[in-house]
Structures are given as structure tokens and as C-alpha cells.
Homo-oligomer: A and B are copies of this chain.
Amino acid sequence: MPTIKDVAKLSGISRSTVSRVINNHPYVNEEKRMRVKQAMLDLGYVPNSSAQRLRGSKTKTIAVLISRIVNPFFSGLVDAMDTVATEAGYKLILCNTRGSKERELNYLDLLKTKQVDGVVFASIENDWSDIKPYLAYGPMVLCNEYTDQTDIPSFRINHFQATIEAVTHFIKEGRTKIAFCRGDETIGSNLGVDREKGFISALTSHHLSFNKQWLFRNVSSIEDGRNVMKKIERMTDRPDAIFTGSDEVATGIIAEAKISSIKVPKHLSVIGFDDQQIAGVITPGLTTIRQPINKLGEQTMQHMIHILTNRISFLGHTEVLTTEFIVRDT
């Protein structure tokens, strides 16, 4: 591997000037610049990024924390982030925490050891007080998740409002026995809490009460949805509508309903969350809340890059994007 020294030797020009050429420094004689470039080409020289990092301590790399990439919500988010990052010359390190606090902390060490310039949280596992100390090592931005324990930048939708809208839709359709699914309990985040608040709020304002039996915890996959449906089938007092919290869960419920006596939407009305591709292709078509996934990912990454480019130590910012209620058949 040729080094800057070899280029200097071959071109007969000092290392410092070669370095200037590499970094597009303005004050370099045009003729020498050419000679250096030619030497680099002849040798197949590429600057060693570890050395550059050691000197300058910027990595042009960003860590993106998600719970799991197979979840289409996250892969959509990552895809959008990647587009913006690549455009700006940044690379992404994929951090699948898989719901583990420990793994999340390990990934945060990337910031500490200067392997990434910043961290984007699209999912969050630890309590904010455990994450906060890492802010000393570099910037962080929240996407989708949020917490009121800090004013760290965050890009998200209003989960409280979106849930009210969905539940109100059920009520307007004449449903009164409404079930509710929530995902994994996460300490550091308000997302689940807000949805639950919205749910209760919508019920209350229509003088409906909530049957605790119809609360399903820790459901997030298609398989989980199938299991929810099996449980409902066994109930004597069954709900007539269900807020699923994700299109995957809704899909599982609908798929299971096909081999069950409970029919969707006749006996059970279903609302998903996200408006994934699957919502539009299953039968019956899934009514759902569309999140602007692309915008969410893009704006988050733009903000992170803005912070990094301008070396801003802290820039609070909260962006609440709007959702769209998509009515289909369920």
C-alpha cells in the first residue's frame, strides 16, 4: 500500500504539499498539483482513513439504532436515512439492538471510541439517564421515539392524536367494544404511553369504558397478531374492534380470521399503523394510519448532518409530522 511518503518521493514534492492536494487546499501551484495527482494515479494511492481519522477525528460515519431491520417500518426509515447520508458523503453503521439494553449501550460505545460521528435513535431501550452521559462524546438525534426527559432533537408524529383519530373512527362506525394492542414496553420512550393515553381519552370522551381483558401487551409481529386473534376467539365477551398499533399485527389478525368463525370486518373491525405496502394488498384491505416514513427518516438525517457539518454542539428541535388516516375495508 503506497503512502503519502511514496507519492511525495515519486513526484519529488513534499508530504505537506501532497496533503494539501488531497484536501483540495487552495494555495497550491497548478503544475505541482498535476504532478502530485499523476503520482497518486500511478501508484494507485488512496489516503489511509484511519490516519486521517486519528488526526482529524471525523469519521463520516453515523450509527443508526433500530430494534430490527426486518421490520418494514425500520427498513423504510433506514432506507430514507441512507439516501440523505450517502448524498452528503456519510456511511451508516446498522445497529440492530434487538430490544437489548446491553447491545444498545455497546453501540453507543462507537461514539465514545470515535468510530462514528453521531448516533440516530429510531428505537430506544435504555432509560434516558443511562444514555445521556454519551452526549459528551457526540451528537444524538431521535426519530420516531421521543422522551420528555430532555430537549434533544426529535422527529416524530403525534401518536396521541393519531390514536384518538383511529378510535374515534371505530366509534363513529358504531363499535363500542374496542381492544388495544401495544408493542414492547420501553422505558425511555413516550410513544407507547401516548398511544395508550389517546386510546383512553377517545373512549372517555364518548363515555365508553375500557375492558382490561382487551389490552394486549408485547405484540408486534404477524405471528403475535395471529395469537391475539386466537385469544379473542376463546373469549366469551369479545371486542368488536381492535387498534393493533402496527400493520404487521393487523395482518396477523386478518390472516387468522380467515380460518376462524370471527369475520373481519363483520364481527371485528381492525385498524393498523404505518400504512405499509402489505396494508394495500391483503384482503380485506387494511384501514390504517399512514406515517410519513420517508420524511421522518430524511429530516432526521438532514438534521444530524447539519449538526455535524456546522459542528454545533447542541441544537434542540422537535418536528411533529402529520399522519393520514387511510380508510380501506377493515
Contacts and interface: CB of A to CB of B under 8 A. Distances in A.
Given A51-B54, A54-B51, A283-B258, A94 B82 contact: yes
B50 A109 contact: no
A193 interface: no
Nearest to A254: B281
Q: What secondary structure prevails in chain A residues at the interface with B?
A: helix
A103 B83 CA distance: 12
B79 A96 contact: yes
Contact of A91 (B48, B78, B110): B110
Number of copies: 2
A278 to B, nearest CB: 6
Q: Nearest 4 pairs between A and B by C-beta?
A: A50-B53, A255-B281, A49-B113, A50-B54
A197 interface: no
A229 to B, nearest CB: 12
Given A50-B115, A82-B94, A251-B281, 10 more contacts: A46-B109, A47-B113, A49-B114, A50-B53, A75-B75, A86-B96, A93-B94, A94-B94, A258-B283, A278-B281
A70 interface: yes
Interface residues of A, number: 45
Contact of A49 (B46, B79, B115): B115
A114 B54 contact: no
Nearest to A115: B49
Nearest to A71: B75
Contact of A75 (B61, B70, B86, B280): B70
Contact of A48 (B82, B93, B113): B113
